[in-house]
Amino acid sequence: IQLVCFGVRDVEVEFFNSLNKYNFDLTLIEELMNDENVEQCKGADAVMIRGNCKADRSNLTKLAGYGIRYILTRTVGYNHIDLEAAAELELKVARVPAYSPNAISELALNLGINLLRNIPYTTVKTHQKDFTVDAMMFSKEIRKSTIGILGTGKIGLTTAKLFKGLGARVVAYDIYESEAARGIVEYLPLEEVLAISDVVSAHVPHFKGVNDHFINEAFINKMKDGAVLINTSRGEIQDHSAILHAIKENKLSGYGTDVFEGEKDFFFRKLTGEKLDDPVIEELISLYPRVLVTPHIGSYTDEALTNMVEISYDNLHAYLMYGRCENEVPLPEI
Ligand code: COI
């Protein structure tokens, strides 16, 4: 069985090879899948992709034309795949519903507590051998803080537990309240979560046409003055201009993000000294140390990587052996 895997970085190669217990015939490609390299899938049986791979109608049509039947995304999110096209082309799509919620939650925690304690600001100064102490370094303790979790799926819940472990009050909003979360978080209406939280951390999938730019000006206006906003989920749920404005006006004291809408165009590339095409993102990034940006590394940990690859291999094996897979992404009716 020939399996082409895209977006495999150097450090990941060893994982792909050592976890290959089904002896798939692997082609590991470092680039994300795009309009050109999709041709390297000719003759393959299945394709493994990750976020930011271009799995649009045109590329899925090419894959189906090569005889490929299985698209395995080693991600939780699947908004990078045109599911309607996949359904029409009779492709099966499977994902990894949980590879290690802690990987993403720990990143959200790191961004949040660094901004709460003004660590980036302080260390920029000491890096310049300015050892004075100023008002910007004064901070509230975590156990006196309220953390607002948006979205209480596995990742949101894990983030809630981490903050709770540090003694914070953790409140949450979700359109689906979960029993598992109820013992950990206090569910409140969105307005209340925003009004009382010192840190708001988003753990929300993106559904096109449903929650685009959910974090917009009206949303931010409902937040506490000087709060911190964290997003380790999807860039499409946030309005960059509104966040930029809020940082510049000091409505938000800090913003930490692992994601941007349109990140495909610049994440994973070295663009030092160049201007980004998007002037709003360009300006946001320039606002370090109040704005902390990581290039979608939420899942970039040893545990997450192992599980992403292992579960994706299991997904393909299940399709081949049993014709079905418990991690199948439901496709729309056509
Ligand atoms: C996800 O699993 O949904 C991610 O965001 C991971 C990333 C490699 C795209």
- Write the residue with the smallest CA distance to atom 9 of ligand 1: 51
Distance CA 55, CA 333 (A): 19
Given CA atoms 219, 220, 223, 229 in this order, what sign does their dihedral have? positive
Query: Is residue 312 within 6 Å of ligand 1 at its C-beta?
Result: no
208 and 148 assigned to the same domain: yes
Distance CA 146, CA 205 (A): 23
Tell me the angle at which helices 10-18 and 302-322 cross, rounded to the nearest 10 degrees.
40
317 and 282 assigned to the same domain: no
Q: Is the distance from CB of 21 to CB of 313 less than 8 angstroms?
A: yes
129 and 139 assigned to the same domain: yes
78 and 199 assigned to the same domain: no
Mutate to test the pocket of ligand 1, among 53, 76, 264 (most ligand atoms within 8 A of CB): 76
Distance CA 266, CA 263 (A): 6
CA distances from 11 to 278, 287, 300 (A): 30, 31, 10
- Write the residue with the smallest CA distance to atom 6 of ligand 1: 75
Query: Is residue 205 within 6 Å of ligand 1 at its C-beta?
Result: no
- The answer to whether residue 329 sits within a structural domain is no
150 and 196 assigned to the same domain: yes
ipTM: 0.91
Q: Which domain holds residue 90?
A: 2-99+301-322
Give, for all 334 residues of the chain, the pLDDT tens digit: 999 999 999 999 999 999 999 999 999 999 999 999 999 999 999 999 999 999 999 999 999 999 999 999 999 999 999 999 999 999 999 999 999 999 999 999 999 999 999 999 999 999 999 999 999 999 999 999 999 999 999 999 999 999 999 999 999 999 999 999 999 999 999 999 999 999 999 999 999 999 999 999 999 999 999 999 999 999 999 999 999 999 999 999 999 999 999 999 999 999 999 999 999 999 999 999 999 999 999 999 999 999 999 999 999 999 999 999 999 999 999 8
Q: How far is the CA of 249 from the centre of ligand 1 (A)?
A: 32
Query: Is residue 254 within 6 Å of ligand 1 at its C-beta?
Result: no
Distance CA 97, CA 151 (A): 15
- The answer to whether residue 334 sits within a structural domain is no
Identify the pLDDT of residue 154.
96
* Known active-site residue 274: no
239 and 306 assigned to the same domain: no
135 and 86 assigned to the same domain: no
- The answer to whether residue 330 sits within a structural domain is no
Which atom of ligand 1 is the closest one to the Cα of 99? 2
The number of domains in the chain is 2
CA distances from 164 to 107, 111, 185 (A): 15, 16, 9
Query: Is residue 100 within 6 Å of ligand 1 at its C-beta?
Result: no
Q: What is the CATH number of the domain that holds 84?
A: 3.40.50.720
106 and 60 assigned to the same domain: no
* Catalytic residue (one of 50, 203, 206, 234): 234
Distance CA 76, CA 74 (A): 7
- The burial of 208, by beta-carbon neighbours within 10 Å (0-12 exposed, 13-18 middle, 19 or more buried), is given as exposed
Query: Is residue 80 within 6 Å of ligand 1 at its C-beta?
Result: no
185 and 111 assigned to the same domain: yes
- Write the residue with the smallest CA distance to atom 7 of ligand 1: 51
* Known active-site residue 217: no
* Catalytic residue (one of 74, 80, 206, 263): 263
Distance CA 265, CA 267 (A): 6
44 and 108 assigned to the same domain: no
- The answer to whether residue 161 sits within a structural domain is yes
- The answer to whether residue 333 sits within a structural domain is no
* Known active-site residue 263: yes
81 and 71 assigned to the same domain: yes
- The answer to whether residue 262 sits within a structural domain is yes
- The answer to whether residue 30 sits within a structural domain is yes
Burial 88-118 (b: 16+ CB within 10 A, else e): bbebbbbbbeebbbbbbbbbbbbbbbbbbeb
- The answer to whether residue 328 sits within a structural domain is no
Query: Is residue 50 within 6 Å of ligand 1 at its C-beta?
Result: yes
176 and 55 assigned to the same domain: no
Identify the pLDDT of residue 334.
84
